Amino acid sequence: MSSSSKSSDSDEASRSNPEASSSNHTIIIPSDNKEEVMKRAAAKKLIERYFYQLTDGCGNPNCDNQFCASSGLLNGLTPDEAAARAIHLFSQDARLCERHPNKIARKHETIIGDQKNETSLSLKNCVPTNNIVISQSNLKCNNAPAPTFLNEQSLYDIIDECETNDSYSPLIRTIGEIFSSIENLSRSFSEDATCTEPQNNFGSAGDLSGLRKEEVRTLEGEKDKDEDSCAEASKNSILPVDIPAVRRAYAALFKLKSSIFENALVNALVTLAGNLQMELPTRKEKDNQDDIVNALIIVFEIPALGSGDFLETALPAICRAVQRLSVEVQGRLARIWAGAAARSSIKSILENLQQLITLRVIMTPFQRDFIVQDENVITSATKLMKILYYANMLAGCLESPSLRCPPPAADPASAAPSKAKGCPVHDPLADELGVHVLDCRRPHVPFEEFYNELLSDTVEMDRDFANYKSESGKFTFMYYPFILTPATKTMGLYFDNRIRMYSERRISFLQTVTGMPSQPFLKLKVRRDHIIDDALVELEMISMENPSDLKKQLVVEFEGEQGIDEGGVSKEFFQLVIDEIFNPDYATFAVQPDSQTVWFNPTSFESDAQFTLIGIVLGLAIYNNIILAVNFPMVLYRKLMGRRGSFEDLQDWNPVLYNSLKQMLEYNQADLQDVFMQTFRISYQDVFGSTIDYDLKENGLEINVTQENKYEFVDLYADFLLNKAVEKQFHAFYKGFQMVVDESPLELLFRPEEIELLICGSKNFDFDELENSTEYDGGYAIDSQIIKDFWSIVHALSLEDKRKLLQFTTGSDRVPVGGLSRLKLVIAKNGPDSDRLPTAHTCFNVLLLPEYSSKEKLKDRLVKAINYSKGFGML
C-alpha cells in the first residue's frame, strides 16, 4: 500500500474515533508537495498548541477552560489520547488559552508523521520534504541551520524546549546568532504577521485530512504568502519592529535566571557594537538604514541594559558605535522613540544612560591632562542622549513651528554685531526633525531629568569653554547643554562674558599706549535720588556713540558715597534701578493683578528709547552676573528667544482670562453663541482704568464667536495681547537687550525657563545649604558659641527677614542659580563684644560679626543691621 493510501486510511479512522490512535502513537498529515506543506504550517502549530494545552495546561491556576489541563476538569490523558483529541478540538475550533511564557516541563511525546519515514522536526527553521512531524521529546531539527531571525513565538518555543530538556544550549546559541548580527537582529520581531508565527485567531477548519490550499489560506488569516516568499520579502525590505512583541519576549526571557543567558547576550551585543563600528563609516546616507534602526530599537528595549555587565560592558560598546550614526538615522530613531508604541521607553533608556555616565564619572580618575570630555563612553552616551532629548520633545506637547519667528531686527544704524563665530543658530538634528526647544510646551519627560548633577560638578567649564571657542573639533558640553545643570551652564556664560570684558580692557590699554584715551570699564556715576535719570541718560549716550562699550565690565559709583565697586555696589545699583523702573507711578509697565507679573504698558507715553535702555539694563545684569528682582511672565523670555506669544502663554500671564477662554474651547454644545455672547470685538483697560475696544477682525462687533470659529478667536485674542498690542515696546526692549548679549552663547545654552532662573535666581531659600557652605575667619569656627547662636537666630527668622539678611550680606536678596550654597558666605570675627552693629563687604559676601556677649544681644544687633542698612560708608 502506498504512503498516501495509508495516510487516508489512518485519517478516516481518526475521524470515526477521535480517541483512537495508531500503535506507534502517530497522527499522519498527508502532503502533496512542498508548497502544500508550507501552507499547512499554521494548522500544524495550532494542533500542537491544543496538545500542550491538554497535557501541560496553560499555567494559570485559575483557568476555567474545560479543554485545558490547568483547569482540573480533565482526567489524565495518555499521549495517544491527547494527540487524537487535539485534532478533534482543532476541527471544532475549540477554545485556546493564552500562552504562559514559562510552561511546565513537557514529558510526553507525540509524533505527527509518516510511520515509515519518521523525522523529528522543530516548528521553526525546518523544511519538511514529505509529511509534517512533531516530536515532543526532541523539538529541534537534526542538523538544523542557525536561525536567521527571531520572533516572540519562536523565543517562547526555544524557552519551552530548553526547560523540557533541561538544557539551555539552544537558547544561548540563538541569542548569539541573532543579537550579534545586524542583519539577523534587524529582521527579528517584525510587525508583519505573515512573517511570524501564526496567531490563535483561526476560524473552523473541518477535518484535517480534507484540508485544501484554500482552507489552509483561511486558517492563516487570508494571508497567502508561504515561508519562501516571506523569506524573499525579508531580504528585499526590513519591516518595522513590533515593539510590544519585543517587550513581551524580553519579559519571558528575563523570567529565567539571568546567569543562564546574560553572558551570551552581553557578548553578542559587544560583537554587534563592533560590527556597527566597522560598517557605519562605510555606509552612505542614501543607503537603506532600516536594519541599523531596527537593531538599535530592539537593543534599547532590553530591560536590564542599565545594570550589571550590560551597564559595564554592553551599553558602553553600543554607545560608542551609535555616535557614528548619520543625522538622518538619528532622526529616524528619534521619531520611533517618540511614537506611541515606544515613547514609554524614553524614561527607562534615559535612566540607563544616566546610570552609565554617572558610573563612568565615579570610576574614572580624571586629571588635568585627561578630563571628562576625553572619556569616550561619557561623550558617546551624551550624544545618544541628544537623540533621546529630541524624541522627548516630539513625544510631548508641541506647538506649531509657525509661531517661531526671527527676532525683530535692530535698525541698521545701531545694529549690533553678528553672533559669535562658532555659536550655531541651528542644530543639524533639530533641522532634520523640524523641531525646536521653543516648540515644546510640555515634554514627555521633564527636561530636568536630563540633568546629570555629578557630571555637571565634574566638568571643568573653563576647559570646556576653551574647546568651544577653539573650534578644534574636540568634544564640548556647550553643544549638549541639556545634560548640564543651569548652575554649571552659568559658568560657561560667565567665562564668555569675562573673556569679552578682558578683551575690551586690553583694547583700551593698547589705545591708551598709542595715544588714544580710552576707558577700560563701563563706568556709571549716579545720584541715589536721581538714579533713573542719571543711569538711563549715560547708557543712552554710550549706546549711541559706541555700543561695544556696553560689553566692558560695569563699575558703578554713587555720588557722595565712599565705596569701591567690586560687585556689591553694582548689585545695589541694579536693585534700585529695577525698583524705580517698575514703579507704578511711571506707568512704563503694568502689573497683572492675578499673577502679579509685570508686562509692557501698550498705552505707555514713554519713548522707544526708554524701553531700549530698560532692555540694556536687563542685558547688563546677565552680562555682569547680577540677579534681579523682576517678575516677568514666561512669555517674555520665550519672545526674547524668538517665539511669538500664544494662547498657552496666557496661563501664567493672566490665569483668569486663560481659564475663561479654555472653558469656551471645551464647551461643545451648539448654543455656545448664546451662552458666551462673545464677538470678535474685545475690550481691555489701560493703566489709567480707561476701557479700549479693539476689533480682532474687520467689523468684529458683527461677528459672533461660534463652535466653528472659536479657535480662531482665541488665537487672535492671545496674539493681540501678547504680540500686536506691545509690538513697538517689545521691539525697542529687545534691541537694547541684544546690544549686550548678542555675541554670548545665551541662546545656545539656556531654555526660556532657565533664562528666567538666570535673571531672577532660584526660589528655594534653603538656609541649611547656606549654613553648610559658609566659611569662618578671624578666630571663628563652626563650633564657636556665637556661630551656633547666629544660625539658631537665622533659621528662626521670617522669610522676609531672611531676604533682608541676604541683601545685607551679599547686596542682593535673590538666591543664585544652583541654590544658596553657591554664595560662599564668610563670617569673620570683628573684634570683641561691643555695641556696634554687624557690617558686611557685599562685594565678597563677608559678614563682619563682633563677638557679642549673649545670644539676645546678637539678635538685637543683627535685626537692626538688616532693617536699617542702606548706602556705603566707612567701616
CA distance 755 to 622: 9
* 694-701 contact pairs (CB < 8 A, 24+): 694/720, 694/725, 696/720
75 with 201, same domain?
A: yes
For residue 5, the model assigns a pLDDT of: 40
CA distance 554 to 549: 10
Contacts of 284 (CB under 8 A, 6+ apart): none
For residue 145, the model assigns a pLDDT of: 53
Whether residue 355 has pLDDT greater than 70: yes
Give a yes or no: residue 183 inside a domain.
Answer: no
For residue 561, the model assigns a pLDDT of: 76
For residue 581, the model assigns a pLDDT of: 84
Note down the domain range covering 771: 767-868
Contacts of 196 (CB under 8 A, 6+ apart): 151, 152, 153, 190, 242
How many CB atoms sit inside 10 A of residue 274's CB? 14
CATH code of the domain in which 542 resides: 3.90.1750.10
For residue 147, the model assigns a pLDDT of: 65
CA distance 429 to 12: 66
Q: How far apart are the first and last CA of the chain?
A: 121
Whether residue 132 has pLDDT greater than 80: no
Query: Which position has the higher pLDDT, 600 or 842?
Result: 600
Give a yes or no: residue 412 inside a domain.
Answer: no
Query: Of 51-55, 626-630, 648-652, which one has max mean pLDDT?
Result: 648-652
Q: Please report where in the chains the cell 565634574 appears, as a residue.
A: 458
Query: Which position has the higher pLDDT, 870 or 602?
Result: 602
For residue 706, the model assigns a pLDDT of: 93
520 with 634, same domain?
A: yes
Give a yes or no: residue 609 inside a domain.
Answer: yes
CA distance 707 to 704: 10
637 with 522, same domain?
A: yes
Per-residue pLDDT tens over the stretch 500-537: 888 877 777 777 766 666 677 888 888 888 888 888 88
* Mean pLDDT of the chain, nearest integer: 79
CATH code of the domain in which 787 resides: 3.30.2410.10
CA distance 621 to 819: 18
Give a yes or no: residue 294 inside a domain.
Answer: no
Per-residue pLDDT tens over the stretch 806-859: 888 887 777 877 778 777 889 998 888 888 888 888 777 889 999 898 989 999
How many CB atoms sit inside 10 A of residue 409's CB? 11
Query: Which position has the higher pLDDT, 204 or 478?
Result: 478
Q: How far is CA 352 from CA 179, 303, 380, 540, in A?
A: 19, 9, 13, 53
Q: Do residues 795 and 853 touch, judged by C-beta distance below 8 A?
A: no
31-65 burial: b if 16+ Cβ within 10 Å, else e: beeeeebbbbbbbbbbbbbbbbbbbbbbbeeebeb
For residue 608, the model assigns a pLDDT of: 83
- Sorting pLDDT into bands at 50, 70 and 90, what band is 635? very high
Q: Residue 515 in 3-state DSSP? A: coil
Q: Do residues 850 and 838 touch, judged by C-beta distance below 8 A?
A: yes
511 with 567, same domain?
A: yes
Give a yes or no: residue 515 inside a domain.
Answer: yes
Mean pLDDT on 19-24: 38
Q: What is the dihedral of CA 647, 648, 653, 659, to 10 degrees?
A: 80
Q: Residue 574 in 3-state DSSP? A: helix
For residue 112, the model assigns a pLDDT of: 35
Beta strands 681-685 and 589-591, pairing class: unpaired
Give a yes or no: residue 418 inside a domain.
Answer: no
How many CB atoms sit inside 10 A of residue 632's CB? 21
- Sorting pLDDT into bands at 50, 70 and 90, what band is 389? very high
693 with 793, same domain?
A: no
656 with 704, same domain?
A: yes
Whether residue 45 has pLDDT greater than 50: yes
Q: Do residues 724 and 684 touch, judged by C-beta distance below 8 A?
A: no
Q: Residue 464 in 3-state DSSP? A: helix
836 with 772, same domain?
A: yes
CA distance 66 to 668: 50
CA distance 172 to 180: 12
Query: Of 168-182, 187-201, 601-615, which one has max mean pLDDT?
Result: 168-182
For residue 114, the model assigns a pLDDT of: 37
CA atoms within 13 A on the CB side of 767: 16
For residue 596, the model assigns a pLDDT of: 83
Query: Which position has the higher pLDDT, 666 or 105?
Result: 666
Give me the percent of the chain exceeding a pLDDT of 70.
79
Q: Residue 558 in 3-state DSSP? A: strand
Query: Which position has the higher pLDDT, 529 or 26?
Result: 529
- Sorting pLDDT into bands at 50, 70 and 90, what band is 414? very low
Give me the percent of the chain exceeding a pLDDT of 90.
39
DSSP state of 829: E
Whether residue 289 has pLDDT greater than 80: yes
Q: How far is CA 498 from CA 85, 471, 489, 623, in A?
A: 85, 19, 14, 9
Whether residue 100 has pLDDT greater than 70: no
592 with 683, same domain?
A: no
- Return the closest-CA partner of residue 40 out of 138, 130, 120, 156: 130
91 with 213, same domain?
A: yes
Per-residue pLDDT tens over the stretch 669-710: 999 999 999 999 998 877 677 888 999 999 989 999 999 999
Domain count, the chain: 4
Q: Which of 126, 141, 230, 843 is catalytic?
A: 843
Q: Please report where in the chains the cell 491544543 appears, as a residue.
A: 50
Per-residue pLDDT tens over the stretch 297-325: 999 999 999 999 999 999 999 999 999 89
Contacts of 343 (CB under 8 A, 6+ apart): 337, 391, 395, 444
222-231, 367-376, 559-568, 630-639 — which is least confidently predicted?
222-231
For residue 105, the model assigns a pLDDT of: 38
Give a yes or no: residue 804 inside a domain.
Answer: yes
Give a yes or no: residue 417 inside a domain.
Answer: no
CA atoms within 13 A on the CB side of 110: 27
CATH code of the domain in which 675 resides: 3.30.2160.10
| Residue 58 annotated to the active site | no
Q: Going along 459-501, which residue ranges are E strands?
A: none
Instruction: List the Cα angle 520/524/528 in 5-degree steps.
Output: 160
For residue 821, the model assigns a pLDDT of: 77
Query: Of 10-24, 221-235, 624-638, which one has max mean pLDDT?
Result: 624-638
For residue 811, the model assigns a pLDDT of: 74
575 with 714, same domain?
A: no
Q: How far is CA 83 from CA 18, 141, 267, 505, in A?
A: 9, 21, 41, 93
Last residue of a domain, one of 666, 694, 722: 722
521 with 632, same domain?
A: yes
620 with 698, same domain?
A: no
- Return the closest-CA partner of residue 151 out of 130, 125, 113: 125
